[in-house]
Structure 1
């Protein structure tokens, strides 16, 4: 998912920075259109990026800490967490607990 997001954002003219734990993906990131790679394992780079981003799309499927990402957001920035694990959990939750009433044009269904 992250690769598609990088390509789409770059195609739309956004300045794209890929966040990765190491420099191993730097060539791939640049090939996809990213202008920069930020190594999240490098505390100095993370500190330097505080308040820098307007939008962060997090596609990591493993458990991880979100607070460093939140710290990199600027004022009114958006952190969007989208991973296969979260999508599966939402799908399973939805199947396990259907809405009490069928949706109609007068009601809304909220997935909690």
Structure 2
């Protein structure tokens, strides 16, 4: 699994902290995305996250989960091993899309 991030930004830091609390930082590959240089706007990264923001978790099967809230929910409380997923990837993706829709002007999320 890979985490695309920019070290020092608050949202990626939240993911790093959650992984560190679970002792899992050595189980993922951290991929530096140079946000100040605009790497997050390159087509290869936008294909991973259409919002062009970090962090993004890429699972071994190619599933992408974007946003610190959804990634930390995926890791989950009491989570000790990536083989025991607290919240399935499709549910984490659902949370991500619900948040995107709710962020649109005039849309109320229930």
TM-score normalised by length of structure 2:
0.33
Structure ID, larger Rg = 1
Q: Structure 1-normalised TM-score?
A: 0.32
Q: Which has the higher contact order (CA 8 A, sep 6+)?
A: 2
